[in-house]
Amino acid sequence: LHEGDQSAVRDFLAGQELADIAGYVEELNVGDDLAAMRLLPLHDQAELIAYLRPSSQMEIATRMPRRELAALMTAMSHDERADLFKQLSDEAQEAILPALTKAEREDLRRLASYAEWTVGSVMTSDYATLSPDMTPTQALEALRSQALEAETVYTAYIVDQSRHLLGVLELRDILMARPRQHVGDIMDREPIFVRADAEQEEAAKLVARYDLIALPVLDGNDQLVGIVTADDAMDVHEEEVTEDFHKGSTIGPIETSVSEATIAVLYKARIFWLVLLVFGNIFSGAGIAAFEETIAAHLSLLFFLPLLIASGGNAGAQSATLMVRALATGDVRPSDFGRLLGREVLIALALGLTMAVAVSAIGVWRGGPAIALVVAVSMIIIVLAGALIGMCLPFIFAKINRDPAAASGPLVTSMADVLGVLTYFTIAAALLDV
């Protein structure tokens, strides 16, 4: 690039996918990244910038001359440019607006106005429309004229004068239609749709459930205001999955990517549950303190304490994870609880018995047969209790309309810890102090 050998670079870039070029651009130095982008045609630049990380987008956008940025934003897909616009400083926003057409300004302001977690914030307004009275040939011609601008032409939306959604039609059905038919005859009159103020997760679920290419978005007046494409729905879904992973380890919501999050953001997302669980574990400590006499008389009991309480927690974390994920994918429904509970009891008993056998051998070696018996019996009960807590908690959360994912590993482990301590020493006191 420095050598001025631009045509070689240009040839190289022509053979590459934009998603890969984005990777190269991010690794270039400040200045070079902009120079490399400028070697591409405007339309590719507009697509490329959408593949960059938000922080890289911002960096490049703020270094671009105002006119160039306006041209780029005009070529960008409507949802991507709204996302970029939202990130710009108030100053930069004000600078860019006059360089855009009135229609673009309004579109930008409208898309940028939806709250962060809503369908409106992830939809795009560059969809293809048809009229109900068009013939298949006319419809194809209409889609051809919109193909450069529209995010997808594989699903088209049929609207009346005031943009009320009349129906949806796939391009495949237009291809297969007979010449005399009209769009209005073959369109789906009861299409799946979503409201602009619904949660974005809702759109992702509908797209996945009905295998849609794009989902129409209506406002409160039943007017079509945008579409959510399958790949944007996929991105939303990925965000939700990440949130579920984080919840599973008591990590609160993080707005930015983990890689770009600041220390303060990550601290805030983590501290709340950590401190809360400290207080939860006071009960375990109090449990131990209550049995100080038993412990003082049989200090060898302490050897098995970490092992027993960890086993209950681990079995519980397994059960919770299985149920949280199965509930999230729809594999299991809240109404399946009864059927699954019986199965879980049997599995947990089998697990507990196996582990009791493993641990009683160590028990005999470390503390003699009496201790071995205490440890083995405790193990069965603790694993059973842990597994049942882990299995029931997600269903209870679902029942009280909380996210089952909040039944996280650490929460289950903490509850299993308390129960484990009490079970172990109660049994020990009963069997050893007689």
Smallest separation, CB 5 to a copy of itself (Å): 22
Footprint of a copy of itself on 118-137 (CB under 8 A): none
Query: What separation in angstroms does the CA of 217 have from each of 16, 103, 183, 330, 386?
Result: 34, 19, 20, 24, 44
H or E element, residue 369: helix 337-399
Smallest separation, CB 126 to a copy of itself (Å): 13
Q: Which is nearer to a copy of itself, 286 or 430 (CB)?
A: 286
User: Given the rule CB under 8 A, which of 34-42, 104-112, 114-122, 341-349 is the region that contacts a copy of itself?
Assistant: 341-349
Angstrom distance (rounded) from CA 348 to CA 339: 15
Q: Which is nearer to a copy of itself, 8 or 275 (CB)?
A: 275
Which phi and psi angles does 170 have, rounded to 5°? Answer: -85, 145
Burial class (CB in 10 A: 0-12, 13-18, 19+), 420: buried
Which phi and psi angles does 257 have, rounded to 5°? Answer: -75, 155
Q: Is 153 in the site for a copy of itself (CB under 8 A)?
A: yes
Footprint of a copy of itself on 176-205 (CB under 8 A): 176, 190, 192
Q: Which is nearer to a copy of itself, 96 or 269 (CB)?
A: 269
Q: Is 209 in the site for a copy of itself (CB under 8 A)?
A: yes
Footprint of a copy of itself on 221-280 (CB under 8 A): 230-231, 234, 238, 241-242, 244-246, 248-251, 257-259, 263, 266-267, 270-271, 273-275, 277-279
Smallest separation, CB 220 to a copy of itself (Å): 24
CB-side exposure of 265: number of CA atoms within 13 Å?
10
Q: Is 115 in the site for a copy of itself (CB under 8 A)?
A: no
Smallest separation, CB 196 to a copy of itself (Å): 21
Parallel/antiparallel/unpaired status of strands 214-218 and 155-159 = unpaired
Footprint of a copy of itself on 47-106 (CB under 8 A): none
Smallest separation, CB 162 to a copy of itself (Å): 25
Footprint of a copy of itself on 284-303 (CB under 8 A): 284-286, 288-289, 292, 295-296, 299-300, 302-303
- Whether 421 and 287 have beta carbons less than 8 Å apart is answered as yes
Smallest separation, CB 17 to a copy of itself (Å): 6
Tokens for 30? 């400040």
Footprint of a copy of itself on 347-386 (CB under 8 A): 347, 350-351, 354-355, 358-359, 362, 366, 383
Q: Is 414 in the site for a copy of itself (CB under 8 A)?
A: yes
- Whether 285 and 261 have beta carbons less than 8 Å apart is answered as no
Footprint of a copy of itself on 3-32 (CB under 8 A): 15, 17, 19
Q: Is 113 in the site for a copy of itself (CB under 8 A)?
A: no
Q: Which is nearer to a copy of itself, 87 or 146 (CB)?
A: 146
Angstrom distance (rounded) from CA 67 to CA 72: 9
Smallest separation, CB 106 to a copy of itself (Å): 27
CA angle 171, 177, 180 (to 5 degrees): 130
Write the binding mask 297 to 336 for a copy of itself: x where contact by CB under 8 A, - elsewhere. --xx-xxxxxx-xxx-xxx-xx-xxxxxxx--x-xx---x
Query: What separation in angstroms does the CA of 434 have from each of 171, 265, 369, 430?
Result: 81, 55, 15, 6
Tokens for 100? 């855009």
Question: In sequence order, what are the residues at sequence separation of 6 or more whose Cβ sits closer than 8 angstroms to the Cβ of residue 188?
Answer: 167, 168, 169
User: Given the rule CB under 8 A, which of 87-95, 172-180, 219-227, 394-402 is the region that contacts a copy of itself?
Assistant: 172-180
User: Given the rule CB under 8 A, which of 38-46, 89-97, 145-153, 393-401 is the region that contacts a copy of itself?
Assistant: 145-153
- Total binding residues toward a copy of itself, as defined by CB under 8 A: 104
Sole binder of a copy of itself in the list 120, 216, 404, 409 (CB under 8 A): 409
CA angle 153, 155, 157 (to 5 degrees): 100
What DSSP string describes 130-195?
Answer: E-TT--HHHHHHHHHHHTTTSS-SSEEEEE-TT-BEEEEEEHHHHHHS-TT--HHHHSBSS---EE
